[in-house]
Structure 1
Amino acid sequence: MTIERITAVPRHPDREAESHKGDYGRVLILAGSRGMAGAGALCGLGALRGGAGLVTVACPASLANTVTAIEPGLMTMPLPEEDGHVADPAPDGWSDELSNRDWDAVALGPGLGQSDAAKTAARLIFTGWELPLVIDADGLNALCHPSTGQGLAWEPHNDFPRVLTPHPGEFARLLGPDVSVKEVQADREGLAVKFAAEHNVVLLLKGSRTLVTDGDRLFENRTGNPGMASGGCGDVLTGLIAALIGQGMEPFEAACCGAHLHGRAGDLAAAALSQPGLIASDLPRFIAHAFADPAYERADGDG
């Protein structure tokens, strides 16, 4: 198999003078559970700073006020809940109602939790929603075989893009019980390309050199630093990629662009603050600076 190696960072679409917020994407984020309200808010902040015109966080009803207290620019959609997690979508059809709205992109998984109801919702959305999805964290864990927690057990809706954003541990689980994290790290490119091609997804495999592939193309990101090894940073990335898709970027290119901007925001934040002192909520503000940074203007992907 011949893989096209992408070195130029795809750029987000320019903005027209005569435009309004609806032109820049309506992003839905399904995230959060008791004790993890911040995950949905961080994902939402990533989407807002990524340029999305309108961002709605759908979360258990008890978390909605917390999300808007963190960022007033986020809209919320309170969902039925069971013990602090989203409720099973079957009884009142909340999943069907959400899927029929006018979304341009959906982010699924940050802080969603691993209750049976949350897993059921994630699987239903992954296989059935006719919308572009970016899936992370608990959304990825829900897609593994219920009995073992290993191996992708549900296939995506083939007519609509699915972007999966695992770290090496999550990717090892998606590959199955016979693959360890050590083996993933030893053959990151080969395993990522094969998985993306077999399952018709865009795969963003996180790491010190994050990889993005759709099975035909491969991009290696060169921005970012160890200060970003902090809870919530991945949630920001998920929202950022969803925002770029919502603005019309092709999903593979959105994932490449998002990885670069996210890492560059981390580099700028670390320079201003320090690597040890960097936290996830610093990143959205520096994403705004990353868009204007000369490193984003260059033809290659070097940070």
Structure 2
Amino acid sequence: MSDAAPPLPPPPSLPKDAHKGSAGRLLCLAGSGAYPGAAILVSRAAQRAGAGLVTLGFLDPALRAIVASAVPETVHLDLSGWGGATDGPLPEGLAGRADHARVIGPGLGAGDAARALVHALLADGFEGPLVLDADGLNALAGRLEIVAASRAQVVLTPHPGEAARLLGRGELASDDAGRRAAALEISARADAVCCLKGHRTLVAEGERVFANRTGNPGMATAGSGDVLAGILGAYLARAAAGGAVARTVFELSCAAVAVHGAAGDSVAEALGETAVVASDLIDHLPAAQRRFERDGED
């Protein structure tokens, strides 16, 4: 096991004949009446990170008008009529979708319907990259075997509290060795990539651990994780669509984490760490991506 940073690929590039379908079709299941901002942040971040077509699925129909005004480029998928049977068929509009990648969970809520939707989507046979964040993780507390049984290429993005719940524990050790051990255990038990968020976010898969060096304390702000989920979803969707050379889910997860932190550093430099808010990260994302694109060309 090593904490040395692997060579970071630049964000996935696009061919000259790209169109919105080939640039990455991303499905985001996010937001609720209590957390409409999560749907906006994950959608905007995914678009700025290069996803060609973002579809937002939601269980609360009130989100339609809110998101339509804030992120007019999204396609909407109203799932409010679904009854919520974990072992039943998927809601109309979800079955048979040709998504390149999916993000499930930011601000989705902790109700029975949301929990059942997470479980049903993991079992539906989707084989592409799938990011589980926030309430998508909480729906699986102590049930990592459900993730391991999925055919999807799963990336888990817990903060320490969510990681502890995934492992069925009260809390995680906060020292470096304890965090590494937890990230590796989650990855092993879920058969997935684990991005354990925090100071020097860790990306773990198998015996590999990447310790991120970008970012700052100002990023400890509401919505920052939603932005990361959107960036990660976009990179995975673009790669799965064929808009990038072959890269692993682990490598793209490392790149997304590093670019997310670099955007935070750009905001802190411009405004100061205490002034950072999540929407600022999206505004500074293009400059952060260009930095990594240039580094990748050297």
TM-score exceeds 0.5: yes
CA drift of 1:78 comes to 1.6
Partner in structure 2 of residue 176 of structure 1: 168
- Mapping 1:1-303, distance limit 5 Å: 2=1, 5-59=4-58, 60-80=60-80, 87-88=83-84, 93-95=89-91, 97-130=93-126, 131-144=128-141, 150=142, 152=144, 154-177=146-169, 180-182=171-173, 186-248=177-239, 249-293=247-291, 297=295
Aligned partners of 1:143 and 1:152 also within 8 Å: yes
The amino acid that maps onto 1:102 is A
The amino acid that maps onto 1:32 is G
| Change over 3 Å in CA distance of 1:114–1:271 after alignment to 2 | same
CA drift of 1:171 comes to 0.5
CA drift of 1:39 comes to 0.4
Aligned partners of 2:148 and 2:189 also within 8 Å: no
Q: How many residues align?
A: 289
Whole-angstrom CA distance in 2 between matches of 1:61 and 1:92: 22
The amino acid that maps onto 1:118 is A
| Change over 3 Å in CA distance of 1:270–1:211 after alignment to 2 | same
Deviations 1:265-295 (A, max 9, x none): 0100111122111111111111111011269
Whole-angstrom CA distance in 2 between matches of 1:210 and 1:91: 35
The amino acid that maps onto 2:283 is R
Tell me which moved more, 13-22 or 291-300: 291-300
CA drift of 1:263 comes to 0.4
CA drift of 1:97 comes to 3.6
CA RMSD, Structure 1 to Structure 2 (Å): 2.5
CA drift of 1:4 comes to 8.2
CA drift of 1:26 comes to 0.3
The amino acid that maps onto 2:40 is A
Tell me which moved more, 280-289 or 70-79: 70-79
| Change over 3 Å in CA distance of 1:126–1:209 after alignment to 2 | same
Identity %: 38
Whole-angstrom CA distance in 1 between matches of 2:292 and 2:87: 51
Consecutive unaligned residues of structure 2, counting only runs of 5 or more, are 240-246
The amino acid that maps onto 1:244 is Y
Tell me which moved more, 163-172 or 210-219: 210-219
| Change over 3 Å in CA distance of 1:101–1:294 after alignment to 2 | closer
Aligned partners of 1:151 and 1:173 also within 8 Å: no
SS where residue 22 of structure 1 aligns? Answer: coil
| Change over 3 Å in CA distance of 1:224–1:140 after alignment to 2 | same
The amino acid that maps onto 1:292 is R
CA drift of 1:13 comes to 2.6
SS where residue 284 of structure 2 aligns? Answer: helix
The amino acid that maps onto 1:134 is V
The TM-score normalised by the length of structure 1 is 0.87
Consecutive unaligned residues of structure 1, counting only runs of 5 or more, are 145-149
Whole-angstrom CA distance in 1 between matches of 2:154 and 2:18: 28
| Change over 3 Å in CA distance of 1:296–1:186 after alignment to 2 | farther
CA drift of 1:101 comes to 1.2
Aligned partners of 1:5 and 1:217 also within 8 Å: no
Aligned partners of 2:2 and 2:210 also within 8 Å: no
Whole-angstrom CA distance in 2 between matches of 1:90 and 1:298: 43
Partner in structure 2 of residue 147 of structure 1: none
Aligned partners of 1:39 and 1:110 also within 8 Å: yes
Deviations 1:5-34 (A, max 9, x none): 543212223222222122210000001111
| Change over 3 Å in CA distance of 1:140–1:262 after alignment to 2 | same
SS where residue 204 of structure 1 aligns? Answer: strand
